[in-house]
Structure formats: structure tokens, C-alpha cells
Amino acid sequence: MQEIKLEKLDDNRWLVPQTGAMRVPGIIYASVKTSGLLAKDESARQVANVAHLPGIVNFSLAMPDIHWGYGFPIGGVAAFDLETGIISPGGVGYDINCGCRLMATQLTLDDVRDRVQDLTAALYRRIPTGVGSTGYVRLSGKDQKKVLEEGARWAVRAGFGSAQDLETTEDGGCLGGADPEQVSARALERGREQLGTLGSGNHFLEIEVVQEIFDEQAAAAFGLGKGQIVVMVHTGSRGLGYQICDDYLALMVKHQSETGIVLPDRQLACTYLSSQRGKNYLAAMACGANYAWANRQILMHLTREVFEKALKIAPRELGMRLVYDVCHNIAKIESFRVAGVEKKLCVHRKGATRAYPAGHEAVPARYRSVGQPVLIPGDMGAGSYVLVGREKAMNETFGSACHGAGRVMSRSQAIKSSRGRSISRELADRGVLVMAGSKGTLGEEMPEAYKNLNDVVDVVHDAGIAQKVAKLKSIACIKG
């Protein structure tokens, strides 16, 4: 296979030249610090592979958290023409609408400093974690259908939060076009008892403190101030979303020859957006996305209850509210200007986050003067960043930014590297209390398994697609 030779465009972008059957070039966002990591896996090759797909517009893109994924690289962004383009489950990912939810409180670090251990233990007891974990929300067939159709709206109506939460959730917490009839019985069964669960792997709930403010205007709009206690939740659609992806990948692999599309990698199995199979996948994917939004809405409600009970404070004293909820494994029909013409495109974001600028109608009204919050968490010890979308993202990345730091070690490599170490003790020495279901989880998620968060965020900031607003320091984390 021909070697991928990257060409430096500027300090934050590298060109994947258009060669062979590629329909467009590729662009990878990376600094000199992070670009050397591209040689460690096949992710640059995957950027080139995606560029072979029919109907792709402008470029095959990758954000600075890029690393190898199934078919598409994680951190990959690609937009496709609705008439000639494709939809690929590998471009969305197995965990449909895996995303982040940031909740702010009226508490400061001084308010909780002596209670962090009790609070973390209470959260760990109350929030179901781990592989196959089940929540206390048991869904009947009728209720499950409504969850898949209505997402976070169902959760709010069921008493988990308020309508105000929906105002600062991407798409109001509900993706249109969902059709539960396109979801298999196996997927429905897997999702029946997992609503309100965190899961395992890189999913987490973190208590964080606002450590630094970079943009006072945007921070004020988001309600963030130095020393403030916030909570970040990272999870998705659990077994239901995984099964939807698995089902449709198998279906598309089976019928790939019927499309006439020649693929450089069978993991790019896809079908045309205009086909019935493509429409069915989008309808099923929307169900997975809505399940994930309902899941995060319920987890926020549980978190609020734990804080109030553990700290013995009233809801008004806590003042927990949703700053923003953003998804980062999704395909959406969105409008962009292409060659001076407004067009609707299907934008695949796999391990990438929407980053819309000020004035865009999709940005919540309360943030429209500054832009959409962009949430970028790092490893367990690094904390997170809050950024704000910029107009340049609309022109260059289909309104997208990265979703995290990005792995540099596989899970098996990380577990091997962590043997003989106490990751929890190392993190405690750095001021981060961690509670997890197993040492294996901590090993595969150890800080060294990820890129340096500061370096990754600097690429996004310096490239001008999103601007730094605040840095959050982790003080406690629970994992499966």
C-alpha cells in the first residue's frame, strides 16, 4: 500500500494529497508537537480512505484528537451530498451520540473541599457504572418507543430535570426522523434496562473546578467563574447504540456489492443516503441518539440528587444547571455554503464535536451572542476545556472541533504498561480522587494512554475553529 506523505500547510494543518481514486484531498489538524503521533497508527491512511467515498464534499477531515477507529478515524469529519453521497455506520461509531454534558453549580471549591471523598463515594454508589450495568429506570415497550422518539424530552416529562435543560442541549435533546421500527429486537432488549447508566471504558463522571478563564465575555454567558464547582458527564447510548451500529454494519457489508461502490477498506461499508437502506439507518441512528440524550438527562438528575443529599443543601443553594450537552458520534443533515451556494449535507462526526459560531440559529438563544459551548475533556488527571465555536469552523471544518485528547495507546497497550502501578494512588498524588469498578479500567484509561490535552486544544484554538473560554481541573472521577 502506498505510504501517506503529509504536506505541511501551516502550523496547525497537514494536507493528505489527493492521489489514486481519492475524490478529494484530506486535511489533518495537528501541530508540530502532535503530528509525530500520526506515524504510530493507520489514522492518516483512514483519512485518505474516507476521501474515496462517493459524494464527499471539499475534504476528508480529521481533528487533532485523531487516532485509529473502525473505518473512519476517530476525530474524523466528512460531509456528503444528499443526492450522490453515502451514509456509513463506521463514520458515526458504535456508541451513537456518545457525548458530554457540563453542569454548573453555585458551589465553590471551599464549599466542598472537605467533603469530596464522601461526595464521590455517594456518586459512585448512586450512578450505575461498568459493563452491562443496569439503571433503576425500567422501560416498558411503550415507554422505550417514546424514549427513542423523544430523547431528553421524554426524560424531562418523566420528572428527570426541567424544560430549561432542553434549551441548552444540542438539538433540544431530540434528533428528528427517529423510527423505532428500524431498530432490532436485540438492540431494544439491550437498551431496556440501561437507561440512567454510565457504562465503562472512557465514560466518566467528574467533579471539576474552574481553574482559569480565558474569555470573560463567553464565560459570563455560559455562567462560569473561577473557583466554581462543575460536573462533566461523558457517556452515550450504551448497548442499544452499539447494537444498532453492529446490525447495520452487518447489513451493509452483506449488500455492499449491490451499491457498486468500490471501497479501499471493507470497514467503510456504506450505502447511498438516497437509498431505503440509508434512510433506515438514519432513522435507527436517530433512535440511538435520542436514547443517549435521555440517558445523560437522567444522569444529571441523579447527580443533582446526590449533591443535595450528600451535602445536605437545598436545590436553590446547589443551583445545578446545564451549561451544555453536545454529541460527538453522529451524522446530521446540516446546511453549509459550498462554492458560494447554500447546500444541505450529511455531516459525519466521529469523535468530533459541533462548534457553531455566534449568530447561528442552532446555538441556544442565551449563547447566540457569543457562540456554542464546545466541551473537550482530557484524561482522568487532565480535567477539561470549555471553548466556544468560531466562524472559521463553518468555512473549514463543517462547524466542527475535536471531542477530547485522543488516545496514543490501545487499551491492551495501556493495561500492559500500567502493570505493577497503582493508577489511583498516582492520581491521588495529583489531587484527583478516582473510584472505578476495576484496576483494569484504570489501567486502560491511565493518563499516558492519551495525548496531552493542552497540546490538542491549542491546535483547535490556534487554528481559529474554536476559542478557549475556561480550563477545568478535575478533583474527583468515577468510572465503570
- CATH topology classification for 7-408+450-478: tRNA-splicing ligase RtcB (3.90.1860)
Q: Give the CA angle between residues 30, 31, 32 to the nearest 5°.
A: 125
pLDDT value at residue 97: 98
Q: How confident is the model at residue 273 (pLDDT cuts 50, 70, 90)?
A: very high
Mean pLDDT of 139-161: 94
Residue range 2-19, pLDDT digits in tens: 678 999 999 999 999 999
Dmax (CA) of the chain: 65
Q: How confident is the model at residue 1 (pLDDT cuts 50, 70, 90)?
A: very low
Nearest-angstrom CA–CA distance, 403 and 417? 25
pLDDT value at residue 315: 97
Residue range 32-78, pLDDT digits in tens: 888 888 877 899 999 999 999 999 999 999 999 999 999 999 999 99
Nearest-angstrom CA–CA distance, 400 and 465? 7
Nearest-angstrom CA–CA distance, 159 and 9? 51
Select the more confidently predicted residue: 184 or 34. 184
Which of 203, 301, 328, 403 is labelled catalytic? 403
Task: Judge whether residue 428 has pLDDT over 90.
Answer: yes
- For residues 364, 366, 368, 370, the Cα torsion angle rounded to the nearest 10 degrees is -130
Task: Please answer whether residues 327 and 292 qualify as being in contact, where contact means their C-beta atoms are separated by less than 8 angstroms.
Answer: yes
Q: Exposure pattern of 67-82 as b/e (b: 16+ CB <10 Å)?
A: bbbbbbbbbbbbbbbb
> 3 by DSSP, 3-state: which?
coil
Q: How confident is the model at residue 138 (pLDDT cuts 50, 70, 90)?
A: confident
- Residues in contact with 57: Cβ distance below 8 Å, sequence separation at least 6, in sequence order: 24, 79, 80, 81, 85, 338, 343, 345
pLDDT value at residue 2: 60
Task: Judge whether residue 401 has pLDDT over 90.
Answer: yes
Among 71-80, 192-201, 304-313, 391-400, which is the least confidently predicted range? 192-201
Query: Could you tell me where the DSSP H helices lie in 199-275?
Result: 216-222, 238-254, 256-259
- 348 a catalytic residue: no
CB atoms within 10 A of CB 343: 14
pLDDT value at residue 223: 98
* Partners of 233 in the β-ladder: 101, 205
Select the more confidently predicted residue: 148 or 33. 148
- For residues 240, 245, 246, 247, the Cα torsion angle rounded to the nearest 10 degrees is 90
As given in the structure block, the three cell numbers for residue 404 are: 477530547
pLDDT value at residue 46: 98
DSSP codes, 135-196: -S-PPPHHHHHHHHHHTHHHHHHTTSS-HHHHHTBGGGG--TT--GGGS-HHHHHHHTT-TT
> Which is it for strands 466-478 and 384-389: parallel, antiparallel or unpaired?
antiparallel
Nearest-angstrom CA–CA distance, 188 and 175? 18
Task: Please answer whether residues 473 and 211 qualify as being in contact, where contact means their C-beta atoms are separated by less than 8 angstroms.
Answer: yes
Output DSSP code: residue 4.
P
CB burial class (10 A; 0-12, 13-18, 19+) of residue 23?
middle
- Residues in contact with 53: Cβ distance below 8 Å, sequence separation at least 6, in sequence order: 23, 78, 80, 85, 86, 88, 261, 263, 268, 270
pTM: 0.97
Task: Please answer whether residues 52 and 264 qualify as being in contact, where contact means their C-beta atoms are separated by less than 8 angstroms.
Answer: yes
